[in-house]
Chains A and B, each alone.
Chain A
Amino acid sequence: MSDHESFYHRDRSWHPPAFTPQYKTSILRSPQYPLLSLDNTISEMTGPVFGHDRLGPLDNDLIRNFAKTGDPIGQRIIVYGRVLDENARPVPGALLEFWQANAGGRYRHKKETYLAALDPNFGGCGRTITDEEGRYWFRTIKPGAYPWPNGINDWRPAHIHFSIFGHAFAQRLITQMYFEGDPMIWQCPIVSTIPDRQAVEQLIAALDRENTLPMDALAYKFDIVLRGRRSTMFENRMEGN
Chain B
Amino acid sequence: MVQKLDRLKESPSQTAGPYVHIGAMPNWVEITGVWKEDLGLVLVGPETKGERVVVKGHIYDGGGTPLKDALVEIWQADAQGLYNSPRERRGKADPHFTGWGRQPTDGVTGEYKFETIKPGCVPYRDGRLMAPHITFWIVARGINIGLHTRMYFGDEEAANAECPVLARIEHKVRVPTLIASRSEENGMPTYTFDIHLQGEKETVFFDI
Contact B85 A49 (CB under 8 A): yes
* A110 CA to B140 CA, complexed, in Å: 16
Q: Is residue A79 within 8 Å, beta carbon to beta carbon, of the partner chain?
A: no
B14 contacts A174, C-beta separation under 8 Å:
yes
Are A16 and B19 in touch, CB under 8 angstroms?
no
Asked whether any CB of chain A lies closer than 8 Å to the CB of B73, the reply is yes
**CB-defined contacts of A103 to chain B, threshold 8 Å:** none
How far is the CB of A11 from the nearest CB of chain B, in Å?
7
If A29-B142, A111-B107 touch, does A14 touch B207 (CB 8 Å cutoff)? no
Interface string of A170-205 (1 = CB under 8 A from B): 101111100000000000001101100001101100
* A5–B8 CA distance with the chains assembled, in angstroms: 18
Of B50-58, B130-138, B186-194, the segment with at least 4 beta carbons within 8 Å of chain A is B130-138
The answer to whether B105 has its CB under 8 Å from any CB of chain A is no
If A36-B206, A41-B122 touch, does A108 touch B197 (CB 8 Å cutoff)?
no
Looking at the assembled complex, report how far the CB atom of A132 sits from the nearest CB atom of chain B, in whole angstroms: 15
Asked if A46 meets B83 with Cβ closer than 8 Å, knowing A29-B197, A29-B198, A172-B137, the reply is yes
Query: Is B12 an interface position by the 8 A CB rule?
Result: yes
Q: In the complex the two chains form, is B207's CB within 8 Å of A168's CB?
A: no
Q: Nearest-CB distance from B78 to chain A (Å)? A: 11
Whether the pair B23, A23 counts as a contact (CB closer than 8 A) is no
Number of A-B contacts (CB under 8 A): 264
Flag whether B176 is at the interface (Cβ < 8 A): no
Given contacts A20-B144, A26-B143, A175-B11, contact A35 B206 (CB under 8 A): yes
A16 to B14, CA, bound (A): 7
Contact B23 A163 (CB under 8 A): yes
For the complex formed, measure the closest distance between the CB of A184 and the CB atoms of chain B, giving whole angstroms: 15
Known A25-B142, A86-B8; contact A38-B207, beta-carbon cutoff 8 A: yes
Q: Chain B's interface: helix, strand, loop or mixed, by majority?
A: loop
| CB of B95 closer than 8 Å to a CB of A | no
A54 at the interface (CB under 8 A from B): yes
Whose C-beta in chain B lies nearest to the C-beta of A5? B87
Which chain A residues numbered 111 to 166 have a C-beta less than 8 Å away from chain B?
111-112, 123-127, 161, 163
Using Cβ atoms and an 8 Å threshold, which residues of chain B touch A65?
34
Q: Are B143 and A169 in contact (CB under 8 A)?
A: no
A47 within 8 A of B: yes
Most chain A beta carbons < 10 A, residue from B10, B31, B86, B133: B10
Which residues from B are CB-within-8-Å of A170? Answer: 208
Q: Does B62 contact A29, Cβ atoms closer than 8 Å?
A: yes
* B20: Cβ under 8 A from any A Cβ: yes
A43 neighbours in B (Cβ, 8 Å): 75, 77, 83, 122, 130, 133, 135, 150
Q: Are B8 and A35 in contact (CB under 8 A)?
A: no
Say if the beta carbon of B98 comes within 8 Å of chain A: yes
Cα of A227 to Cα of B52 in the assembled complex, Å: 34
A56 to B33 Cα, complex, angstroms:
11
Bound together, the chains give a CA A20 to CA B14 distance in angstroms of 12
Given contacts A87-B7, A107-B19, A161-B17, 15 further A-B contacts (CB under 8 A): A11-B9, A16-B144, A31-B205, A35-B207, A37-B207, A41-B122, A43-B77, A45-B87, A46-B88, A48-B100, A49-B85, A66-B31, A97-B23, A99-B22, A172-B137
Interface residues of B (CB under 8 A from A): 6-24, 26, 29-31, 33-36, 39, 61-63, 65, 67, 69, 73, 75, 77, 83-90, 98-100, 107, 122-126, 130, 133, 135, 137, 139-148, 150, 165, 168-169, 174, 197-198, 202-208
Q: What would 27 A/B residue contacts be, using CB atoms closer than 8 Å?
A: A5-B87, A10-B207, A15-B145, A16-B14, A17-B144, A18-B145, A24-B142, A31-B147, A36-B205, A36-B207, A41-B122, A42-B83, A43-B150, A44-B135, A44-B148, A88-B7, A88-B8, A108-B22, A125-B26, A163-B16, A167-B86, A169-B75, A172-B146, A200-B12, A224-B11, A225-B9, A228-B7
